[in-house]
Amino acid sequence: MSANESLESASVLIDRRIAELGDWRGAMLARVRALIREAVPGVFETWKWRGTPVWEHGGIICTGESYRDKLKLTFAKGASLADPAGLFNASLDGNARRAIDLYEGARFDAAAFKHLVQAAAALNAAKPAARIGRGGKGA
């Protein structure tokens, strides 16, 4: 399977998940997906961990997991992102990830979400500084 076929398959699987949900979670997943695509043109959609939509750009931006009562958007490097709008409301005590749990009828700040997605993509694109000193790989 080529890379393009793999990416297309992920998009088809995400389309199918949205349709299967068939309720507010499907509609919200479709909305979130559209916002991610607007925020980061060229974002890659992948399908991992036996059924989780994942958006990547230089690394994982976020996942979109659906549960009975919520949609969970987990940002792989969320602990390193500024969140002035306070969107993160779950997985707050981890060292790396942060999540947004969305419930039926909850308000959702689309502009703040797009900013968070852009910040996550920018963080993925940033090159780590060369480590110099004992144990590091420096120049």
Question: Which tens digit of pLDDT belongs to each residue from 75-118?
Answer: 999 999 999 999 999 999 889 999 999 999 988 899 999 999 99
What is residue 5's predicted lDDT score, i.e. its pLDDT? 45
pLDDT over threshold 50, residue 132:
no
Averaged pLDDT, 22-34? 96
**Which domains can be identified in the chain, with CATH numbers?**
3-125 (3.90.1150.200)
What is residue 8's predicted lDDT score, i.e. its pLDDT? 56
Instruction: Specify the higher pLDDT residue, 1 or 92.
Output: 92
List, as own/partner pairs, every contact residues 102-106 make where C-beta atoms lie below 8 angstroms and the sequence separation is at least 24, other chains included: 102/28, 102/32, 102/70, 102/71, 102/72, 102/73, 103/69, 103/70, 104/24, 104/25, 104/69, 105/24
Averaged pLDDT, 12-29? 95
What is residue 38's predicted lDDT score, i.e. its pLDDT? 97
pLDDT over threshold 90, residue 4:
no
What is residue 127's predicted lDDT score, i.e. its pLDDT? 62
| Dist. CA 138–CA 72, nearest whole Å | 39
For the segment 37-83, what is each residue's pLDDT rounded down to a tens digit?
A: 999 999 999 999 888 999 999 999 999 999 999 999 999 999 999 99
| Dist. CA 107–CA 101, nearest whole Å | 11
Tokens (6 digits) for 69 = 């009562």
